[in-house]
Amino acid sequence: MSYRNYSLSQLRELDARHHLHPFTDHKELRGAGTRLVTHAEGPFVYDTEGKEILDGMAGLWCVNIGYGRHELAEAAYAQMKELPYYNSFFRCSTPSPVLLAQKLAEIAPAHLNQVFYGSSGSEANDTALRLVRHYWALEGRPEKNRIISRQWAYHGSTIAGTSLGGMAAMHGQLHGAVPNIVHVMPPYAFEFREPGETDPDFGLRAARAVEAAILEAGADNVAAFIGEPVMGAGGVKIPPESYWPEVERICRKYDVLLMLDEVITGYGRTGAWFAAERLGIRPDTITTAKALTSGYQPLSALLVGDRIAQTLVEKGGEFFHGYTYSGHPVACAVALKNLEIIEGEGLVERVRDETGPYFAEALAESIAGHPIVGEVRSFGLMGAIELVADKETRCRFPGEGAAGLAVRDLAIEGGLMMRAVGDTMILSPPLIWTKETIDLACRRIVAALDAAEPILRAG
C-alpha cells in the first residue's frame, strides 16, 4: 500500500507508536515529531510538506552519486529477477560479489586484493577485529591481540563497533566492552594543541600516544591500530599532515597491523578512491561501506591486504565468521553500477581537482570570517565549521551542543541539511555537487549563522 493513502499526521502518529529510531531520545522525539522524507532527486531531498532541502550530508555520509539514479534501481531489479539471493558459504559463490571483488581489488591500493562482505560498516569492523586477532593466532602469537583505537572514534554501533569506537556515551551504555581495546588521544588540534605548539608538532605528539600505548602493553601483545583517516562522526577532525606517516612508522616499527576505517572516506569523498592513497600510507585492512553502493543498498566490504590474506590461505583452518548476507548478489550488483558511475563521471577526480579545492576556498571565504565561527576546515568533500562565542579566545557558547542544534535547525529551515556534532557543524555532500551547489550551500549556511547569532548571544 502506498504511503500516499496516509496523511502526514497519521504517518507521524504511526511513527511515534511503532518505530524506535536510532541514536534518539525517544521522549524528546515524541514531543518534537519526525520529519518524514518521502523522495529525493539529485542533490535534494523532499519531505511530506514538499519542502526541498539541499542534502549537505549525502544522507548519512553515503549518497555519493546523489539521488534518483535509476541505473542502480535497474541493476537491482535485473539481479533480483535473475538471482535475488544465494549465499557464499559452503563453497558457493554468485557472480556479482566475485566481479565486485575484482573491481575493488583494481581500485584499492595495490597490496589489498581480497574482500570480505557484510551489510554495514559495523559488521565490517566486527570482521576486521576478528580477522586481525585470527591472523596473529595463525601466526602462532595469540597473545598479540590488543587493539589500539582513539577517543571519539566512531567504528559502528554493534558491540564490536562500539568497543572499537571511542565514544564515551556509547561505552557508558555498553556494560562490558570487547576486552583488550584501548583508546588514545585523537589528533584534534583545535582542542588539544598546546599554546605555542605547531600543527606538525601536535600531529607527532598525537601519533606518539599510539607508541606509548604499544609500549605500555608491550609490542608482543598489540595486534593492530585502527583509525578513521579523518574522524567523521566525531566531528570531521582532520589530523595534521605529520600524523598518519608517523602512526604508520610506529606500527611498522613494532609490527602492529594498521587498520583504516574508510566507511566515510572511501569511494571518492577525499578526492581519491581511498584516503589511504591521499595520505600515502599502506594499511593492512580498509573497512568500507556507505558509498560503496551510495547508500542504495546496505553493503560493506572489508578490504584485506596481502599479508593477512596470504596467512589465511597458507595456514588454513576455518575462520568462524560470516553473515547470511555476506556477498549479497543484489547489493553487489548495485555497488558495481555505482562504482561504474563514479568512475564514468570522473567524480573522484572532480573532488580532487575541482570541487574539493573550491569547497575549501568557499568555506574560507564566505564562512570563516563570520563572528560566531572559530575555524573552518575541510578534506575533499568533508567539511566542518566550529561555532564559538568569541572568535579570538575560541570560547564556546554556554550549554555544549546547544549552539550546534540551533544552527542545524535554522539551516534545515533555510533549506540545507547539516549535522551538528556538539558545536561543530558538519558537511559531507554528494560528490555530484558543483561549484554552484557549493555556493548555494554557503549562502544558506551564512543565513543560518546570521539568524542564530542574536539568539545565541541573547542566551
- As measured in angstroms, the least distance from the Cβ of 455 to ligand PXG is 24
* CB contact at 8 A, 337 and 75: yes
Taking the CA atoms of the chain, what radius of gyration do you get in angstroms? 22
Distance between CA atoms of residues 354 and 269, nearest Å:
13
Instruction: Give the strand order in the sheet containing 181-184.
Output: 112-118, 300-305, 285-288, 257-261, 222-227, 146-150, 181-184
- Cell digits for 125? 569492523
Pick the closer one to ligand PXG by CB: 117 or 193: 117
Distance between CA atoms of residues 46 and 116, nearest Å:
35
CA atoms within 13 A on the CB side of 114: 15
Distance between CA atoms of residues 285 and 130, nearest Å:
12
- Of 156, 271, 283, 380, the residue at the interface with ligand PXG (CB under 6 A) is 156
Residues 304-329: b if buried by 16+ CB within 10 A, e if exposed: bbeebbebbeeeeeeeeebbebbbbb
Pick the closer one to ligand PXG by CB: 144 or 408: 408
- At 352, which amino acid appears? R
- As measured in angstroms, the least distance from the Cβ of 388 to ligand PXG is 21
Pick the closer one to ligand PXG by CB: 211 or 262: 262
**263 in the Ramachandran plot: left (φ > 0), alpha (ψ -120 to 50) or beta?**
alpha
- As measured in angstroms, the least distance from the Cβ of 219 to ligand PXG is 26
Q: Decide if residue 285 touches ligand PXG (CB under 6 A).
A: no
Task: Enumerate residues 250-269 that contact ligand PXG by CB under 6 A.
Answer: 261, 263-264
Task: Enumerate residues 410-429 that contact ligand PXG by CB under 6 A.
Answer: 419
- As measured in angstroms, the least distance from the Cβ of 352 to ligand PXG is 21
- As measured in angstroms, the least distance from the Cβ of 270 to ligand PXG is 13
Task: Enumerate residues 158-217 that contact ligand PXG by CB under 6 A.
Answer: 161
Q: Is the dihedral of CA 335, 79, 88, 100 positive or negative?
A: negative
* CB contact at 8 A, 456 and 420: no
Q: Which residue has the cell 566486527?
A: 126
- Of 121, 235, 240, 295, the residue at the interface with ligand PXG (CB under 6 A) is 121
Task: Enumerate residues 214-253 that contact ligand PXG by CB under 6 A.
Answer: 228, 232-233
Name the residue number minimizing CB distance to ligand PXG.
121
* CB contact at 8 A, 37 and 26: no
Secondary structure (DSSP) of 353-396 = IIIHHHHHHHIIIIITTSTTEEEEEEETTEEEEEE-SBTTTTBP
- As measured in angstroms, the least distance from the Cβ of 275 to ligand PXG is 11
Q: Decide if residue 289 touches ligand PXG (CB under 6 A).
A: yes
Q: Decide if residue 327 touches ligand PXG (CB under 6 A).
A: no
Distance between CA atoms of residues 172 and 436, nearest Å:
43
Q: Where are the alpha helices (DSSP H) in 119-264?
A: 121-138, 159-164, 168-172, 189-192, 199-217, 243-253
The piece of 87-95, 114-122, 317-325, 383-391 that touches ligand PXG (CB under 6 A) is 114-122
Pick the closer one to ligand PXG by CB: 121 or 187: 121
- As measured in angstroms, the least distance from the Cβ of 372 to ligand PXG is 22
The piece of 154-162, 218-226, 303-311, 406-414 that touches ligand PXG (CB under 6 A) is 154-162
Q: Decide if residue 379 touches ligand PXG (CB under 6 A).
A: no
- As measured in angstroms, the least distance from the Cβ of 269 to ligand PXG is 11
- As measured in angstroms, the least distance from the Cβ of 313 to ligand PXG is 27
- At 294, which amino acid appears? S
Pick the closer one to ligand PXG by CB: 153 or 351: 153
Pick the closer one to ligand PXG by CB: 205 or 268: 268
Which one, of 436, 452, 306, lies nearest residue 385 by Cα? 452
Pick the closer one to ligand PXG by CB: 181 or 263: 263
- As measured in angstroms, the least distance from the Cβ of 27 to ligand PXG is 20
- Of 152, 154, 243, 274, the residue at the interface with ligand PXG (CB under 6 A) is 154
Q: Can you give the binding site for ligand PXG, defined by CB under 6 A?
A: 60, 120-122, 125, 154-156, 161, 228, 232-233, 261, 263-264, 289, 419
